[in-house]
Amino acid sequence: KFYQHATTEASQATLASVSPVFAVMKLDKEGNTTYFEKKKTELYQELGLQARDLRFQHLMSIATRNNRIIMRMEFLKAVITPEFLLILDYRNLNLEHWLFNELASQLAGEGQLVTYSLPFEFRAIEAILQYRISKLQGRLNTLQPQILETLEALVDPKLLSVDRSKLHILLQNGKSLSELETDLKVFKETILEILDEEELIEELCLSKWTDPQVFEESTSGIDHAEEMELLLENYYRQAEDLANEARELRVLIDDSESIIFINLDSHRNVMMRLNLQLTMGTFSLSLFGLIGVAFGMNLESSLEEDPRIFWLVTGIMFLGSGLIWRRLLSFLGRHLELPLPPHVPAVLKKSQPAAGRVEIKNNLRAETFGLSRS
């Protein structure tokens, strides 16, 4: 028994020694900031949490445990209590400007947070959500002009070929846009999961269950659960607006790809038609060139003695070749003409204004890139 007890203590000591160490940044209600390092085991014991609560296995999550809010916004890991905010692993975030210059002032009420008059957890949640939305907005603002500039260069109908470097840039921007759409989708789903559950919204109001004064205010006057719901809905709506803008960019990329293919097909058809015309011209000259071959043979007749025969035969050759070439061109034109549009019944004529609106919308979309659609 003594040996087993000693072995257990040794194993626990070994596990405690390999426990990860968090670099913690602590901010209180007044914006005072302290920095320290603490092992994961010590940290979750002080906060009254369990080890799995600080695992942060999802890239984006908002959860409550033992009157604590555990948030993760991609690289940002935070634990919110009614008295302070903890930012974990702050040294590896590359967020020095926001952490050291903006976050403390926002929590102290010097920023533009609308929840300053509410308990501390509201300010902390709003500051983190505001930072996340601003990062997503910045990514969209960076991608949008690059994509529009690239599309404007690619959909030019005068270009006979497509610049591969522009296509490579468009491919990279499209990939970045897809990642942005995924991040926005995850952000909206995370907030929507909370908005769909009234109990989760109530659990986010930490001070309501710890401070009697706040509980009285929530029951008699301002309902803090409704304020939390409005706060989350506000940032959900902002994420939805960003998602709509990203979706419009995606539609523009898809439409531009169709325009690029149409332009390339048009130029390819022109080259094929030119090649066909040259082939027909060569055929016409070769056909009547047989006359010159016949007269060029070493045959004796009375015609070669007349000097006017050369010009007569040459004229007949060129005239016949021209007539055959024009005949072939008219035959080609008849078979390449577009068919007449079908007759529109009277019943379907009522839908013409809607079709006109669609055509105007398409023309406006084309004018964005400097095009004119027919």
Q: Worst-scoring range by mean pLDDT, 246-250, 269-273, 351-355?
A: 351-355
The helix or strand, by DSSP H or E, that contains position 67, with its residue range, turns out to be none
Higher pLDDT, 231 or 347: 231
pLDDT band, very low/low/confident/very high, at 214 (cuts 50, 70, 90): low
Find the CATH number of the domain harbouring 164. Answer: 1.20.58.340
Say if residue 124 is in the same domain as residue 96: no
Report the pLDDT value the prediction gives residue 76, as an integer from 0 to 100. 87
Say if residue 103 is in the same domain as residue 124: no
Higher pLDDT, 268 or 361: 268
Residue 76 lies in a domain: yes
First to last CA, the chain: 91
Q: Kindly list the distances between the CA atom of residue 320 and the CA atoms of 64, 282, 287, 307, 332, in Å, as whole numbers in the listed order.
A: 92, 13, 9, 21, 18
pLDDT digits (tens, 9 = 90+) for 116-152: 788 888 889 999 999 999 999 999 999 999 988 888 8
Split into its structural domains, the chain has a count of 2
166 is in which domain, residue-wise?
120-265
Residue 212 lies in a domain: yes
Q: Is the dihedral of CA 107, 112, 117, 121 positive or negative?
A: negative
> Within a 13 Å sphere around the CA of 42, how many CA atoms are in the beta-carbon half?
13
Say if residue 70 is in the same domain as residue 50: yes
pLDDT digits (tens, 9 = 90+) for 30-41: 888 898 888 888
Say if residue 138 is in the same domain as residue 246: yes
Say if residue 145 is in the same domain as residue 256: yes
For the chain, percent of residues with pLDDT exceeding 90? 17
Report the pLDDT value the prediction gives residue 340, as an integer from 0 to 100. 47
CA dihedral of residues 15, 21, 22, 24 (deg, nearest 10):
120
Is residue 26 over pLDDT 60? yes
Is residue 257 over pLDDT 60? yes
Residue 145 lies in a domain: yes
pLDDT digits (tens, 9 = 90+) for 63-86: 888 889 998 888 888 999 988 899
Rounded to whole angstroms, how far apart are CA atoms 88 and 100? Answer: 14
Residue 191 lies in a domain: yes
Say if residue 79 is in the same domain as residue 183: no
The pTM for the full model equals: 0.67
